Amino acid sequence: MIKYYKTVGNSLELLEKATAGCWISVTAPDPEEIDFLISQFNLDAGFVRSSLDEEESSHVEIEDEQTLIIVDAPVSDMQKSDTSLFYTLPIGIILTDDYVFTISSKENSTITEIESGAVKNMQTNMKTRFVLQCLLKITAKFLMSLKQIEKLSYSLEQQLQGALKNQELIQLLGLEKSLVYFSTSLKANDVTLEKINRGRVIKLYEEDQDLLEDVLIDVKQAIEMTSIYSGILSGMMDAFASVISNNLNMVMWRLTVITIILAIPTMVFSFYGMNTDLPLPYTWFASLVAIVLTLVVSIVLLKKKK
């Protein structure tokens, strides 16, 4: 899907066709749309393919007066096992003399929010500011996703206290895997931003310097948060693996106690059911012995538990 946006006044408006100074948003394009982009706007075919490659890492390329900036953006997905998985998806930003392109292989909330006007003072004709605002929005999305991971891990922590199954641990493993994806992508984005900060990729204006510094600060904060949460989750998984094992041991202990208690009356009545001479061969005496022994053993086992 190809959409054309341009800032009119202070709002972002959807256009029917491309005009100079507009933003062209490309999401999950089909082969015909890819050919249209390459032929109509003379985009570098390699740049387009790189933007659509889900395995592409964050980097910067310059070719024939076109600049490609690929950054990773966070994406959340709900698995069949009700496990929330976060991963990253590359977004290609291509700068030409007249247009700014954003190309993504799948729909993602970051581009959707930008299209809906979530970013204030978005100016499509100011390409440097537009790119920096997109990068700031992507970084803010990382921070928001990290907060969601923190809330999910806290919720799982409450569930794990009495857990006997592995479902919660599997969900924690999914969150830990998500943090690994985030850490790798954020570090790559940080390297890309440092290249932009040197002023060799896109022309930097003095009024945009503060915006770029905000992006760099947020990226480093996200990297630090990812490292902290990853360490917490790793320790939590080890701790609660032991908790689950201890909970299972307690269940087995209770079952063992019940088995011992139920075995005592059976043993007493078995002796009286044999063809042997026993003192006081009366039913009430056997019942009394069974009850007394059962009570004594139960008290001993309960005290042992304490």
Q: What is the DSSP string of 227-253?
A: HHHHHHHHHHHHHHHHHHHHHHHHHHH
Q: Give me the residue spans of the domains in the chain.
A: 2-247, 248-305
pLDDT one-digit tens code per residue, 237-257: 777 767 767 777 777 777 777
Q: Is the pLDDT assigned to residue 80 strictly greater than 60?
A: no
Statement: the pTM of the whole predicted model exceeds 0.85: no
Please report the pLDDT score of residue 166 as a whole number: 63
Tokens 């075995």 identify what position? 263
Q: What is the C-alpha separation between 162 and 85, in angstroms, rounded?
A: 24
Q: Nearest CA to 99 among 17, 209, 219?
A: 17
CATH fold, domain 2-247, is: Beta Polymerase; domain 2 (3.30.460)
CB burial of residue 285 (10 Å; 0-12, 13-18, 19+)? middle
Predicted confidence (pLDDT) per residue in 193-214, tens digit: 888 888 777 777 777 788 888 8
Nearest-angstrom CA–CA distance, 26 and 231: 37
